Amino acid sequence: SADPEVAPVIDHGYLSDAEQRDLEVLVDGVEIARAVMGSAEPDRAPVAEIAPGPDVRARAAIADWVRRHVGIYYHPGCSCRMGSSTDPEAVVDVAGRVHGVRDLYVCDASIFPALMRANTNLPTAMLAEHLAESIGAG
């Protein structure tokens, strides 16, 4: 919507692959996790499986469970990516300065050029620590 008061609609496209490769990978993950946990010595085994549960064994049943329970570990980032002024996708430079806008800085996970495969909390804190002095002196 062009109306700034209307909340955006965000569709992450979970499980929307026509060939269902995304679903197959998640089912594989459940099976691999079970194999790893099942390989532990009985006296060192962790607690019993909680979900999808020991009675859910067939791949189709696991897939059904995944469809109903797939969720998000949402770490937004990279929407104001860092890069040179010649990069058409870059919004800020290496000091967090917004290209073409004087005295405007961005210092959060949105400036990461690529989303990492980890929690973004610590890298964002490190980024803030790194840029704080230069932003303050700006």
By annotation, the residues acting in catalysis are 75
Place of tokens 């060939």: 19
CA distance 76 to 121: 11
Let me know the angle formed at the C-alpha of 35 by 18 and 68, rounded to the nearest 5 degrees: 40
Please state the separation of Cα 35 from the chain's center in Å.
25
Packing angle, helices 59-69 and 21-38, rounded to 10: 110
Question: What is the DSSP code string of 15-56?
Answer: T--TT-HHHHHHHHHHHHHHHHHHTS-GGG--SPP-SS-TT-
